[in-house]
Amino acid sequence: MPKLIAIGILTIIIITGLIFVGLDVLDIAEDFRLDWPISAINTVFISVLALPVVYYAARYYRRSGSPLAFGLGGAVLAFGFSILLYGWLSNTDLNTRITAYDSGVFIAALIHAIGAGYVFLNRESISSSQTSRKLTLIIYYPLILVVISLVTWLAHKDIITYITTSLGTHLATRDIVQGVVFIICIATASIYLRHYIKARVDSAFWYSLGLVLFAAGVIFISRGPLESRIAWLGRASQYAGSLYMLMAAFSIYRQTGKAIKKQHKSER
């Protein structure tokens, strides 16, 4: 039943988004604005929710080398961190904030795809040694934060000019990035859905739905002003996606607990 409800919520969000896009194309009530504290809400429903996801994914990856855990933890960390930078670097220019957000989105999509690639190739573990997996985590998570911070700093110093003075160039650049992210995430979601159908791994189910909602959110948010209905629907899609990825992390946690109990039994 929870899975049917989850699919229903995803379907409602996608259909509503398509309706909103159609209304905007027809210029129907496009002046709607909802002035809520975006930064605070994003922090609670994305960045804060990312913490347990990263923790459980890292714990399971260290134990098993799971590519799903590798992709889930790193990607959620990248997106959660970029949301913090975008929301709370309020005194910086738009170029810096947008660069922080889009770099985090793009890096998250790539990490999702890396984990899915191993799953697609039927690789159960990225590394066979717990020591090497521990070392990977020590380098992997800080490196994500450093890369996004560096890109943001370069944008702040105008070394990277992601937002140009030409509106057409700006829109074209962002559309390309967001289109690539959408394609990567939908392809990754299909791999995990296939994995769920084949192996009945609950974490893969929740992960695949979370990826679809994340991808839809990226597209919807870009279709209108920050306070517009389509942008808020995009955020709602990403909030739901964060909850689904949290469900994937809880599934990983339960899987870890079962593995530990099984190991203890075998040692007796």
Express each pLDDT in 115-170 by its tens digit: 999 999 998 888 778 889 999 999 999 999 999 999 999 998 888 877 554 444 45
Residue 202 CB partners (closer than 8 Å, separation 6+): 196, 248, 251
pLDDT at res. 67: 94
What is the overall mean pLDDT for the chain?
A: 88
pLDDT at res. 29: 65
Q: Is-contact 178 218, C-beta < 8 A? A: yes
Overall pTM > 0.75: yes
pLDDT at res. 76: 98
What 8-state DSSP symbol labels residue 159?
S
Task: Tell me which residue has tokens 């839809």.
Answer: 216
pLDDT at res. 191: 97
pLDDT at res. 168: 46
List, for the chain, all residue ranges whose pLDDT scores fall below the cut of 70.
29-31, 163-172, 256-268
Helical residues (DSSP H) of the chain, grouped into ranges: 2-25, 38-42, 49-64, 67-88, 94-120, 130-156, 167-199, 202-221, 229-267
Domains and CATH numbers, the chain: 2-23+37-259 (1.20.1070)
Residues across the chain:
268
pLDDT at res. 30: 63
